[in-house]
Structure 1
């Protein structure tokens, strides 16, 4: 796997874990926590949403779904 792909997957996993631990978070919370652009956060959330791992109950807020996830290192 390319280093950029590995970095992206690691970032997406970290975002998922942050949302899972903190409950409902805003896009701004994620931008502040991870120090990346809002557009990058939006793309990563889109990947998580496509895989039914997070959803947005209202605009700009995100929470995890009940889908079971197996974490690997």
Structure 2
């Protein structure tokens, strides 16, 4: 696995864990927390949404779904 892919997967996992621990968060909170661009956060959220791990109850706000996840 390339270092870039590994870095992205680690960030996606960290974003999921942050949302899971915080409850509902805004996209801007994620940008501030992870020090990346809004576009990068949006791409990562798209991965999580595609895998049914997060949902957006209202525009710009995110929360985890009830899907069971095993974190290693």
TM-score grouping bracket, smaller chain normalisation: over 0.9
Post-superposition, which runs of at least 4 consecutive aligned residues in structure 1 deviate over 2 A? none
Which residue in 2 is equivalent to 1:9? 9
Aligned partners of 1:64 and 1:55: how far apart in 2? 6
Q: List alignment gaps of at least 5 residues for structure 2.
A: none
Aligned partners of 1:4 and 1:32: how far apart in 2? 21
What value does the CA root-mean-square deviation take over the aligned residues?
0.3
- Cα displacement (A) at 1:11: 0.2
- Cα displacement (A) at 1:68: 0.3
Matches within 5 A, 1:1-73: 1-72=1-72
**CA deviations over 1:44-67 (Å, ceiling 9, x no partner):** 000000000000000000000000
If the length of structure 1 is used for normalisation, what is the TM-score? 0.98
If the length of structure 2 is used for normalisation, what is the TM-score? 0.99
Q: List alignment gaps of at least 5 residues for structure 1.
A: none
